[in-house]
Amino acid sequence: MTALDLSSPVAVVGTGTMGQGIAQVALVAGHPVRLYDTLPGRAREAADAIGARLDRLVEKERLTGADRDAARARLLPAEDLPELADCALVVEAVLERLDVKQDLFRALEGIVADDCLLATNTSSLSVTAIGGALRNPGRFVGLHFFNPAPLLPLVEVVSGFATDVTYATRAYETARAWGKTPVACADTPGFIVNRIARPFYAEAFAVHEAQVADPATIDAVLRESGGFRMGAFELTDLIGQDVNESVTQSVWQSFFQDVRFTPSLAQRRLVESGRLGRKTGHGWYDHRDGAERPEPDTAEQRQPPAYVVAEGDLGPASELLELIREAGIPVRDDSDDDQGACLLLPSGGRLVLADGQTAVEYRDFVYFDLALDYRTAGRIALSASQDTSPQVLAEAIGLFQALGKRVSVIGDVPGMIVARTVARIIDLAHDAVAKGVATEEDIDTAMRLGVNYPLGPFEWSRRLGRTWAYVLLDDLHRRDPSGRYAPSLALYRHAHASDSREGTS
């Protein structure tokens, strides 16, 4: 099956923000669009709101006046479901309740033609379960748009257990014809984005709950070192703590309370207290008028070391050696040392890339966090134990400051902030591919476009090396044997496979 013909009417049931957005996308693409809502008058209000947005597109010269007028003529509110009888596609965007959605599609099945494509925009419910209420679940798919639908390009096209591949293909091609970037996905809790994104929030919250860094510092490290557009705390304040926690709870319960998806108690307390983020004026941060935004912890200026000794291969941090030389600090090479990859400081301390171990295990170790790009990173996090020599820590701080970086010193936490987050994202991505959820390419596309990650998980994996994520998580698991950090079998196989037998991601 190919994309729907533009002459084919498309219906959207549910006229909230998402429903209006999906309707606008189909309308601007050229389809006749029907809007339906169970509340009297809501469909007409939604049509007027869409019309107003079309007017703004004309003002911004993104749409011609003629195209706007033609689109308005194609947009029709419907007062009763039978008015959708001739539609070739019906997309549902109603309340996130299984019984409500099932009742709607049962009713639609008795109204529309037998080949009408039926789609749900659910973000948290099982597509298979919703479609299970139908006599013909083969024509039922998930079309998960991201908010705001007219602006964000990604659409997850979700095949339920009973979805016929021809209808999934039609949904995929139609989304692409609408100017979107579709990715194909099996029906799994959280689909692609909400499944693989869980560690971005969970690890930030876990570091905070361990009392080793505050939200402002963690967010700054994720942005300025990890390259993420927003930190986990500010992003969940924007999304809404209740919304974000609800998705986490749904994925956790759907995976039979898998420890890898365990919700955050600290976030639960925020929700219970009514501090839901921007929409209530307070979440992790105080968003009320006049409130001051907390600053991340930033170390005071320290003197750089007179030199450093490079021992072993620094792997993902190898570019630091060139930066250190450019800063005028001599770098001595001792590649024959068998103590492991590190930078040896004049005081005798060792500066080591976060590896899932803790500083307290070693004498005068200072860990530094992973960076997307050490040259452009604006901030680097360091981790030391209470036993670390103040002189060693001062030299480590001064070294990165000499490279033009702001430095945040956090407590002694294995895997630090960026490193443990990226490792867990890579692990969940490999696990998803192994279980047939989606392809590597579609997962990378989904994570870049759906949540604006600087790299997709497999792009990270190729950059960091085949064994990097596995080794870090295995070390973390030894220190926290709850199972949360146990590497998946898929990641184990990937780490131990030769490049000749598998890809190099």
Edge-first strand listing for the sheet containing 379-383: 331-333, 308-311, 342-344, 350-353, 365-368, 379-383, 406-410
Report d(CA 195, CA 188) in Å as an integer.
8
Which residue out of 31, 109, 126, 144 is catalytically annotated?
A: 144
Number of H helices, E strands in the chain: 19, 15
Confirm whether 147 is a catalytic residue. Answer: no
Q: Which residues neighbour 237 within 8 Å (Cβ) at sequence distance 6 or greater? A: 277, 278, 283, 284, 285, 287
Report d(CA 44, CA 438) in Å as an integer.
39
Neighbours of 314 (CB within 10 A): 18
Which residue out of 109, 156, 203, 245 is catalytically annotated?
A: 156
C-alpha distance from residue 461 to each of 124, 342, 423 (Å): 28, 21, 9
Contact by Cβ (8 Å): 160, 127: yes
Angle of CA points 327, 328, 333, to nearest 5°: 100
Which residue out of 92, 121, 123, 126 is catalytically annotated?
A: 123
Report d(CA 88, CA 91) in Å as an integer.
10
Report d(CA 110, CA 316) in Å as an integer.
58
Report d(CA 374, CA 153) in Å as an integer.
30
- Looking at residue 225, its amino acid is S
Residue bearing tokens 């004309």 = 58
Nearest to 46 by CA among 70, 68, 79, 69: 79
Which residue out of 124, 126, 159, 194 is catalytically annotated?
A: 194
Say how many residues make up the chain: 505
Confirm whether 395 is a catalytic residue. Answer: no
* Token reading at 54: 């079309």
Confirm whether 126 is a catalytic residue. Answer: no
Catalytic residues: 123, 144, 156, 194
